């Protein structure tokens, strides 16, 4: 179900967010009764969604359209006094079309086998979209409140085939009945001749000549038609260009699809649904690239990752990734769960949605129709308001590093695993956004006080240049030892300069003392006799301040970057808890190190299992996912937080006065 329609302005705060529910998935038999719709309406759900066939169309013959089931749903919504949303796809042509017209399908590189949907590089793919949207507009015109602009893949999301339909037990039979042994699996779906021609042309255009391309890739192509896809990520620039082209192609096709929908339904609120279980580059879903494109088009984005994982893990992965990109590019963000969510999960979903500034909230009808989930909406639905969350901490998402590891460990392909673990852990003690290298190139760092590095040993040189420039204006970057960090071309100097690394990192097994001048700053970092580390730096840059250790064996130090700082902990991933506590000091106590810096209000800085989000106007929402009552100390005031619950408090002035 969704939480926002054209009546909700996502830039306003404090207004109830409108909710939606599905009255039909892909089966015509799943339609809600009038009584069920009224129960959902009583819970606040005011928009109901109908899905058109995700792997076909309503065109049963050339120019013959069957809208009977869709008409029934529309009438039911009207009778219930609700708005109507529609999900349209139009990327898999029916058999009669394939026999009557030219059809070029996607083909996978591994087997040169077709998927039953269009090649996104063939002009017929957009023409087929136009055929569908023209008919849809003719049938329903301005009666559609919101429209999911389906793009491609298994479910009409902004990605290539994922294999879910062909291998998931609940859907495999339907797939075989419709398409036989048609191909559907994760892979590189760019084997057709139109894809290869597009790659060759765009790569030559990028470099300006074949000679310059060969120089960048260290290849020896003699003519443009010799250009082929890379075979290994070891050819770093060649590989990155290929993967980025692959993802950019899906962005371009998504944009073309949306423009067709806008042409035929100019008054309808449009959104894309970003799905997929992970960030495997082969799926081709570029989160920030799509958010940037959505802003330029004036459409919205819905994530199907609501409660996909327990709250902290979900916040560390795709849900927050997409939410952060939408926040930066000014795109209304919607939340949807991928499947059944229980009452406890619903409370967490509400918290994660408002914490990401959601303007829309979708739930499958069977969830709120379950009595315990309905009670969760009754108790906590009032918190579903359009608020603007406030955080000045960003986590660096290692885009380049991730793409270069696309053929490595299966878990690492899905998502950077250390980033995932660390971000989930850190959400307990401070809120954050996630920024990737595109967002940094577009100026995202100007919105943050602190940038946290968690994983990745390869970064674009231009990204590090942007980080250094931001540091010059006052930004504070923080890292631990991520390995031999270098640019794509292998240059370690930009990274070492930001963090003042002038010598080698050497193993040790010591607790090193905090310099007396910084004991007040590093209150969370110390353990009895000092700071635990497994490495020290033998030499730091001239002028850098040693915070822990000494000039010959520094464990924590700060290097001036102008008005800002590069703060580094020399320890490895094995000492990550020390790093986490250093980050708490940087987030909440930075002014005790540099009086020109500000601190975040210490609203949820303890390892106590409670999460908090600060909003404009000083409102704070607390979330207790545990089965114990939590007793919070808020600057001298106390507040009890019941198990699996939400509660507001208000920071009225500064960090001294609270009102629950």
Res 166: pLDDT? 75
Domain boundary among 337, 354, 386: 386
One domain, residues 569 and 448:
yes
Strand (E) or helix (H) holding 420: helix 417-426
The string of pLDDT tens digits covering residues 150-204 is 999 999 999 999 988 877 777 888 888 888 877 888 899 999 999 999 999 999 9
**Inside any domain, residue 284:** yes
Q: How far apart are CA 153 and CA 301, in angstroms?
A: 17
Which residues have C-beta within 8 Å of that of residue 261, sequence separation ≥ 6?
Answer: 88, 129, 133, 147, 149, 268, 270
Q: Which CATH number belongs to the domain containing residue 324 in this structure?
A: 3.20.20.80
Collapsed DSSP state (helix, strand, coil) of residue 311? helix
One domain, residues 163 and 148:
yes
Residue 545 Rama label (left phi>0; alpha psi -120 to 50; beta): beta
> Average pLDDT, stretch 348-359?
96
One domain, residues 622 and 540:
no
Q: Which of 192, 176, 172, 65 is nearest to 118 (CA)?
A: 192
One domain, residues 402 and 381:
no
Q: Which of 544, 543, 542, 521 is nearest to 531 (CA)?
A: 521
One domain, residues 92 and 74:
yes
The string of pLDDT tens digits covering residues 586-644 is 999 999 999 999 999 988 889 999 999 999 988 999 999 999 999 998 877 888 999 99
Q: How far apart are CA 138 and CA 67, in angstroms?
A: 11
**Inside any domain, residue 207:** no
**Inside any domain, residue 212:** no
Q: Which of 330, 23, 270, 296 is nearest to 133 (CA)?
A: 270
Percent of all residues in the chain with a pLDDT value above 70, rounded to a whole number: 93
Q: Which of 51, 23, 50, 49 is nearest to 36 (CA)?
A: 23
> Average pLDDT, stretch 16-27?
44
Give the CA diameter of the chain: 81
Give 55: exposed, middle or buried? Use CB within 10 Å, 0-12, 13-18, 19+. buried
> Could you identify the residue written with the tokens 């984005």?
301
One domain, residues 615 and 510:
no
- In sign, the C-alpha dihedral spanning 360, 15, 307, 617 is positive
- The distance from CA 524 to its chain's CA centroid, rounded to whole angstroms, is 30
For the chain, how big is the Rg over CA atoms in Å? Answer: 26
pLDDT at residue 35 tops 70:
yes
The string of pLDDT tens digits covering residues 43-52 is 989 899 999 9
The string of pLDDT tens digits covering residues 231-286 is 988 899 999 999 999 999 999 999 999 999 999 999 999 999 999 889 999 999 99
Res 179: pLDDT? 86
Average pLDDT, the chain: 91
Domain of residue 520 covers: 393-592
Res 339: pLDDT? 86
Q: Cα angle vertex 196, ends 190, 202, to 5°?
A: 110
**Inside any domain, residue 199:** no
One domain, residues 530 and 633:
no
Collapsed DSSP state (helix, strand, coil) of residue 434? strand
**Inside any domain, residue 242:** no
Q: What is the pTM of this model?
A: 0.94
One domain, residues 509 and 647:
no
pLDDT at residue 654 tops 70:
no
pLDDT at residue 11 tops 60:
no
Count of structural domains, the chain: 3
Q: Cα angle vertex 69, ends 65, 73, to 5°?
A: 125
One domain, residues 262 and 306:
yes
**Inside any domain, residue 264:** yes
Q: Which of 561, 558, 306, 589 is nearest to 430 (CA)?
A: 589
Give 519: exposed, middle or buried? Use CB within 10 Å, 0-12, 13-18, 19+. middle
Domain boundary among 339, 363, 386: 386
Domain boundary among 560, 592, 624: 592
One domain, residues 513 and 542:
yes
> Could you identify the residue written with the tokens 């879910």?
164
pLDDT tier for residue 340 given thresholds of 50, 70 and 90: very high
Q: How far apart are CA 396 and CA 448, in angstroms?
A: 12
- Alpha helices, DSSP H only, in 141-233? 164-167, 169-179, 193-207, 210-217
One domain, residues 522 and 643:
no
| Phi and psi, residue 586, nearest 5° | -65, -40
One domain, residues 87 and 25:
yes
**Inside any domain, residue 206:** no
The string of pLDDT tens digits covering residues 283-338 is 999 999 999 999 999 999 999 999 999 999 999 999 999 999 999 999 999 999 98
The string of pLDDT tens digits covering residues 385-421 is 888 999 999 999 999 999 998 766 677 789 999 999 9
**Inside any domain, residue 359:** yes
């Amino acid at each position: 179900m969704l939480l926002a329609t054209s009546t909700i302005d996502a830039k306003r705060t404090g207004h109830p967010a409108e909710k939606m529910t599905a009255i039909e998935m892909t089966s015509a038999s799943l339609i809600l009764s009038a009584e069920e719709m009224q129960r959902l309406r009583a819970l606040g759900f005011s928009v109901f969604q109908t899905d058109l066939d995700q792997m076909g169309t309503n065109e049963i013959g050339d120019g013959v359209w069957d809208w009977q089931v869709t008409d029934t749903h529309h009438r039911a919504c009207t009778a219930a006094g609700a708005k109507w949303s529609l999900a349209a796809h139009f990327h898999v042509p029916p058999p009669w079309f394939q026999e009557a017209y030219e059809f070029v399908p996607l083909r996978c590189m591994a087997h040169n086998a077709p998927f039953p949907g269009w090649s996104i590089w063939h002009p017929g793919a957009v023409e087929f979209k136009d055929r569908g949207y023209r008919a849809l507009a003719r049938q329903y015109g301005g009666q559609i409140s919101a429209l999911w602009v389906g793009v491609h893949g298994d479910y009409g999301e902004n990605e290539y085939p994922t294999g879910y339909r062909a291998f998931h037990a609940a859907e495999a039979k339907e797939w075989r009945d419709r398409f036989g042994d048609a191909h559907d699996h994760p892979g590189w779906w760019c084997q057709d001749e139109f894809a290869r021609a597009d790659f060759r042309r765009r790569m030559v255009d990028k470099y300006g000549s074949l000679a310059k391309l060969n120089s960048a890739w260290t290849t020896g192509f003699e003519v443009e038609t010799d250009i082929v896809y890379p075979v290994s990520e070891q050819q770093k620039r060649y590989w990155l260009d290929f993967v980025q082209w692959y993802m950019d192609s899906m962005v371009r096709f998504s944009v073309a699809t949306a423009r067709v929908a806008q042409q035929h339904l100019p008054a309808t609120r449009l959104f894309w649904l970003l799905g997929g279980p992970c960030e495997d580059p082969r799926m081709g879903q570029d989160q920030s690239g799509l958010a940037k494109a959505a802003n330029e088009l004036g459409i919205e984005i819905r994530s199907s990752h609501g409660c996909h994982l327990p709250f902290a893990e979900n916040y560390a992965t795709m849900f927050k990734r997409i939410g952060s990109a939408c926040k930066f590019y000014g795109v209304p963000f919607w939340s949807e769960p991928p499947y059944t969510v229980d009452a406890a999960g619903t409370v967490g979903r509400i918290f994660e949605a408002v914490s990401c500034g959601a303007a829309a909230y979708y739930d499958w009808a069977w969830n709120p129709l379950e009595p315990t989930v309905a009670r969760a909406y009754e108790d906590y639905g009032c918190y579903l308001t359009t608020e603007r969350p406030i955080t000045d901490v960003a986590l660096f998402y290692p885009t380049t590093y991730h793409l270069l590891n696309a053929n490595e460990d299966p878990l690492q392909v899905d998502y950077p695993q250390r980033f995932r673990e660390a971000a989930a852990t850190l959400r307990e003690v401070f809120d954050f956004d996630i920024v990737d290298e595109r967002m940094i190139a577009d100026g995202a760092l100007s919105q943050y006080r602190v940038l946290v590095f968690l994983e990745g040993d390869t970064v674009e040189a231009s990204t590090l240049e942007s980080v250094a420039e931001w540091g010059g204006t006052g930004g504070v970057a923080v890292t631990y030892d991520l390995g031999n960090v270098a640019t794509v071309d292998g240059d370690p100097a930009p990274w070492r300069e930001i963090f003042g690394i002038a010598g080698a990192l050497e193993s040790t097994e010591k607790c090193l003392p905090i310099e007396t001048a910084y004991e007040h700053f590093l209150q969370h970092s110390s353990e009895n006799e000092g700071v635990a580390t497994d490495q020290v730096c033998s030499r730091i840059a001239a002028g850098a301040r040693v915070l822990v250790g000494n000039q010959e064996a520094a464990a924590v130090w700060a290097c001036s970057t102008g008005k800002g700082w590069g703060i580094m902990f020399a320890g490895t991933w094995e000492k990550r808890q020390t790093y986490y506590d250093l980050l708490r000091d940087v987030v909440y106590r930075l002014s005790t190190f540099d009086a020109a810096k500000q601190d975040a209000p210490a609203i949820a800085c303890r390892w106590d299992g409670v999460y908090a989000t600060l909003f404009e106007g000083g409102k704070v929402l607390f979330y207790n996912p545990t089965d114990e009552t939590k007793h919070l100390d808020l600057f001298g005031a106390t507040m009890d937080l019941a198990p699996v619950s939400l509660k507001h408090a208000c920071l009225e002035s500064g960090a001294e006065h609270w009102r629950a």
